[in-house]
Structure 1
C-alpha cells in the first residue's frame, strides 16, 4: 500500500502482457482474494473493537483505526490498481484517479504513524507507567489519533494537484488513458527518497528501538517476579499472593507485545518489495520501464503491499486471545428477554480487556510495589506489607 508507487511503467503499446488470458485470470484471482480478506477482515476488526466490551482499550482503539486505513485500501485501491493494468486504460475519470492516489498516500501514512503511536504508548505504559498515567489520558490519545489522520490527509492532499489522467493515441486509433503523476508538477526522485526515509526506514528503526526496550523491561520484571516476593492481606484477613496476579499481567502484556511486533514486521516485509522496486526504478541502470517484466513486477509488488492490509486481522485472530473471544461473543450474541420483558443482548463479558492491557484487580486496602516496570499496578491507596514480615511471622 505504498503511497508513491505511481504507474510510470505502463507503456503505450499494443503488445501488452495483460492481453494474455492466463495472466489476467491469475491476477484477477489473487486480487479478488486480497480484496475479500481485506474488506471482511478489517470490517470484522472494526465491529469487534466497537461492540465488544472486553476490547475497549487504548491499544485496540489504535488497532481499530489501523483497520479503518486498511479497509480504505480494500475499497479504494485494490481493484482500481488491477483495473488500470487489466484494461490498459483508466476508465474511472480524472477525479477518481486523484482519489485513488490520495487514498494510497493517506492509508500508508496513517498506518505507519498509528504503528509508531501504538509502540510509543506501549513503551510508556510498560517502561514508564507513572509518567504514562499522568500524561497519556484517553482524551489526549484520541486527540493524537485525530492529529495522525489530519497529518496523513495533509501529506496526501498534493496528489489532487499533480496526479491526473493522460491520454495517448495508439497506432490502432484507440485512445489509451493512464492515471499517473505529472512529473512536471513535482520532483519524484526527491519525494520517493523522503518517503523511504521518513515513512519507512526511520519509523521502523524507532519502533525496533522501543520494542527492544519494552522486551528488556518485561524480561527484568519477569525476573523480579520469579521469587516469592510480596503478599498482601485483604480486609477479611485473607492472604493475597500478588505475584500470581502480576505474573498473569506480564504474560498478557507479553502476548500483546508479540502481536504488535508481528504487525510491524508484517508491515515492513509487505512494503519492502515496493520500496525496493522504487529504488531500482529510479537508480537502476538496467530497469526497463516498458518491458513486460517491469509491468508484472509493479502489479506483483502492489499485490504484496495490499496483502499487509488483509493479513493484519488474521494476526489479531491468531495472536490475541481477547480478540478471538470478542469475535466469538459478537458472532454468538443472541437476543433474550430480561426480567422486565425488554429484549437484551446476552453476551459473555468476563475479564474484558484488563489482563491484555496490563491492569489487574488488587485488594483495595493493600498494594504492591514490585519495581519500576510494575508501578502501574499501584493504583489505589493501600499499605505495603514486607516479604520478611509476612513470610517469617504469619501462619
Structure 2
C-alpha cells in the first residue's frame, strides 16, 4: 500500500508539474494513477473486514460507498488501459490522422467520459450491497444483500464485470497485434518509430501485468457469486485461500504500474529525478529542450 501510494502520487505530480510530460499517453497514465490511489486507500477497510468480518462499524452508507468506489475504480482502470492502447494504435498506424485526432483537449474529454461511464456502470452496487444481520444475530455484515441474490441483480453485475474484463482483453490483443505488425514492417532506423516502440513496450508490459493480476480476481469473484446460494461454511472452506491470493494480486496491480513506468521509460525516470532533485529547473529545461528538438526532427522527417 505504501509503495503504491508513493509511486502513484509521484506519477500524478510528474505529469501535472512538468508541462512537457502532459502528452496524451501520460494524461491517461496520471488519471489511471488516481484510480489506483483510490483502490489502495480502500485496502485498510478490506483488511479490517478480513480481520473482523462483523460487526461493520461504519454504517450502511459507508458500506455502499466503499464498495461502489472499489467497483468504479476497477472499471475505470480497465477503460483507461483500453483507450490508452487505442490511442497508441492510432498514433502508430495512422500517424497523420493522429496529429488532428489525438489532442490534449480531446484526451481530457475522453478521460472525463471514462470516469462517468465507470461510475454509471458501478452504480448498481449501491443497491446490491448493505449492512445485513445474518442468522438473526445483531451483528451486521457489509456484504451483498439477499435482495441482490434473489432478484438476479448480482448475476447481471457479474456478467457486466466479466464483460468489462473479456471485451477489453480481446481489443488489447487485436490492437497490439496490429501495432506489432505495423512496426515490424517499417524501417527500424526511423526515430519516430523507435519512440513508438519504447512506448508500446512499456504499455505491453502494463497490459501483461494487468492480465496476470486481474484474471484470478475475476475468476474468484465469479465463483464466489455462483456459490452464494450454498452454505457460508462450504464457501469459506473452498475459496478462502484463492480469494486471499487474488486480492493480493489485485492490489499489487494498483501498486506496480509506477515501477513499470520507471523501468521501461527513460523519459519518466528523468522527469521523476527532476521532480525530487534540489535543482529541478535545470533538468526541466534540459528535458523540455530535448523534447522540442525531437519533435522538430519528427516533423521535418515526416515532411
Q: Same fold (TM over 0.5)?
A: yes
Deviates more, 1:201-210 or 1:88-97: 88-97
The answer to whether the 8 Å contact 1:106/1:156 transfers is yes
Alignment of 1:84-103 (within 5 A): 84-89=49-54, 90-103=56-69
Deviation at 1:277, TM superposition (A): 1.6
Where 1:350 maps in the other structure, the secondary structure is helix
Q: Following the alignment from structure 2 to structure 1, what is the Cα–Cα distance between the partners of residues 90 and 121?
A: 27
Is 1:123 aligned to 2:66, yes or no?
A: no
Is 1:221 aligned to 2:186, yes or no?
A: yes
Deviates more, 1:307-316 or 1:160-169: 160-169
Is 1:253 aligned to 2:253, yes or no?
A: no
Residues 133 and 157 (structure 1), Cα distance of their counterparts in 2 relative to 1, 3 Å cut? same
Aligned residues: 296
Where 2:286 maps in the other structure, the secondary structure is coil
Alignment of 1:1-395 (within 5 A): 35-75=1-41, 77-89=42-54, 90-168=56-134, 175-185=138-148, 186-187=151-152, 188-197=154-163, 199-222=164-187, 225=189, 247-282=190-225, 289-290=232-233, 291-334=236-279, 345-352=281-288, 360-362=295-297, 367-368=300-301, 377-378=302-303
Q: Deviations over 1:40-67 (max 9, x none)?
A: 1111111111112442211001000000
TM-score (norm 1): 0.69
Q: Deviations over 1:322-377 (max 9, x none)?
A: 11100110000438xxxxxxxxx54443244976x99632398xx44xxxxxxxx3
Correspondence for 1:381: none
Q: Following the alignment from structure 2 to structure 1, what is the Cα–Cα distance between the partners of residues 57 and 122?
A: 23
Q: Following the alignment from structure 1 to structure 2, what is the Cα–Cα distance between the partners of residues 323 and 358?
A: 18
Q: Following the alignment from structure 2 to structure 1, what is the Cα–Cα distance between the partners of residues 298 and 241?
A: 62
Q: Following the alignment from structure 1 to structure 2, what is the Cα–Cα distance between the partners of residues 111 and 353?
A: 32
The answer to whether the 8 Å contact 1:249/1:358 transfers is no
Residues 282 and 84 (structure 1), Cα distance of their counterparts in 2 relative to 1, 3 Å cut? closer
Deviates more, 1:321-330 or 1:270-279: 270-279
Unaligned 5+ runs, structure 2:
none
Instruction: Considering Cα pairs closer than 8 Å and 6+ residues apart, tell me whether 1 or 2 has the greater RCO.
Output: 1
The answer to whether the 8 Å contact 2:24/2:102 transfers is no
The answer to whether the 8 Å contact 2:36/2:73 transfers is yes
The answer to whether the 8 Å contact 1:55/1:353 transfers is no
Residues 221 and 331 (structure 1), Cα distance of their counterparts in 2 relative to 1, 3 Å cut? same
The answer to whether the 8 Å contact 2:64/2:130 transfers is yes
Which is helix-richer, 1 or 2? 2
TM-score (norm 2): 0.88
Deviates more, 1:308-317 or 1:48-57: 48-57
Q: Following the alignment from structure 1 to structure 2, what is the Cα–Cα distance between the partners of residues 149 and 121?
A: 17
Q: Which of structures 1 and 2 has the bigger CA Rg?
A: 1
The answer to whether the 8 Å contact 1:322/1:353 transfers is no
Q: Deviations over 1:96-143 (max 9, x none)?
A: 111111111111111111111111111111101122222233222211
The answer to whether the 8 Å contact 2:27/2:107 transfers is no
Q: Following the alignment from structure 1 to structure 2, what is the Cα–Cα distance between the partners of residues 333 and 141?
A: 32
Residues 206 and 250 (structure 1), Cα distance of their counterparts in 2 relative to 1, 3 Å cut? same
